[in-house]
Amino acid sequence: MYDQILFPTDGSEPAESILEYALQIASEHEATIHVLNVVDTSHASLSGTQDDVDDALEQEGTEIVNEAARRATERGVTAVSEVLHGDPSEAIVEYGTQSGIELIVMPTHGRRGLQRFLLGSVTERVINTADAPVIAVNPGTQPLAYPCQELLVPTDGSRGSELAVSEGVALANATGATLHLLHVVETGSLGPDARSLSKEEELTTRADEIIADAIEAAEAATVDRIASEIEFGVPSREIRNYIDTHEIDFAILGTHGTTDFSRYMMGGVSAKIVRTSPVPVMWVRDPDSTGE
């Protein structure tokens, strides 16, 4: 399913903890893992000449990727290592495009080079601009195990979530995981009539249609085990509740869309899910959308 996997790393403890998970994914899919370190020279120390700083950072980066590649080789995973200079998010996305990367696995925070940005701009920019799906993993997530057993795909019927459902269907078939389909009707901004009978019926009808379409796609692909649910409330909260209640160990979300749910995806929902999710989250971007 995935032949080329990219793992950006700064050699920090958070990144090291996610490397093992990335290697599990690569091993399961018999993929090549590309280990990338980005020397962010614009944020380098001002001591010494710039060339000296760049050389020191590149040497450190080389040691980091070589060590990660060694660990991959020990596990029987083919590894490619690379050190680049430039803006971290741009370098990650460009490398992914040029190298035919099919999946990016990255921690939500780290230290030098990528560290100041991973929690916010780098991870979210990569999610918003990469051609390949991006798995963002909170380093505090324990235990991490792949392949997943209980796979959640929240859907809102948008193009982005349709792509997430397709990815979830393929992954469920590849791993044998149970596919959970969830639609959250976001009621917080619908006004005082949100719970009126007519509005309730309208939202419920639309929710039923969205879930039915997702189930149909999963059944057409002969997914063995499918579960579905509709919830009303705050999307990030309902997603987290579902993860906890159903012992979800992996989630897939689309990054852009047009409905009440999806307009929060790279705002409140994504900020909360990316930074606090107790499970790895794969983000799938609509290639026709523009990153923010």
Write down the pLDDT at residue 246: 97
Q: Which CATH superfamily is domain 150-284 in?
A: HUPs (3.40.50.620)
Integer Cα distance of 179 and 252 in angstroms: 10
Alpha-carbon dihedral of residues 42, 46, 52, 57, nearest 10 degrees?
-50
Beta bridge partners of 230: 183
* CA geometry: angle 96, 262, 176, nearest 5 deg: 60
Structure tokens at 39: 């020397």
Contact 36, 7 (CB under 8 A): yes
Write down the pLDDT at residue 261: 36
Integer Cα distance of 290 and 114 in angstroms: 23
The alpha carbons of the chain give a radius of gyration, in whole angstroms, of 20
Write down the pLDDT at residue 290: 53
What is the residue type of 35? V
Which residues of the chain are in CATH 3.40.50.620 domains? 4-137, 150-284
Considering only the C-alpha atoms of the chain, give the largest distance between any 2 of them, rounded to a whole number of Å. 70
pLDDT in tens, 162-213: 999 999 999 999 999 999 999 998 876 555 555 566 677 888 899 999 999 9
Write down the pLDDT at residue 121: 64
Residue 194's SS3 state is coil
Beta bridge partners of 184: 231
Closest CA to 15 of 106, 83, 80: 106
Write down the pLDDT at residue 110: 57
pTM for this entry = 0.87
> What does pLDDT average to in each consecutive run of 10 residues of the chain (292 residues)?
95 86 97 95 57 84 96 97 93 97 87 45 81 90 91 92 96 97 80 61 91 98 97 90 96 67 48 81 80 46
Question: Which stretches of 176-278 are DSSP H helices?
Answer: 197-220, 235-245, 270-276
CATH architecture for residues 4-137: 3-Layer(aba) Sandwich (3.40)
Contact 117, 152 (CB under 8 A): no
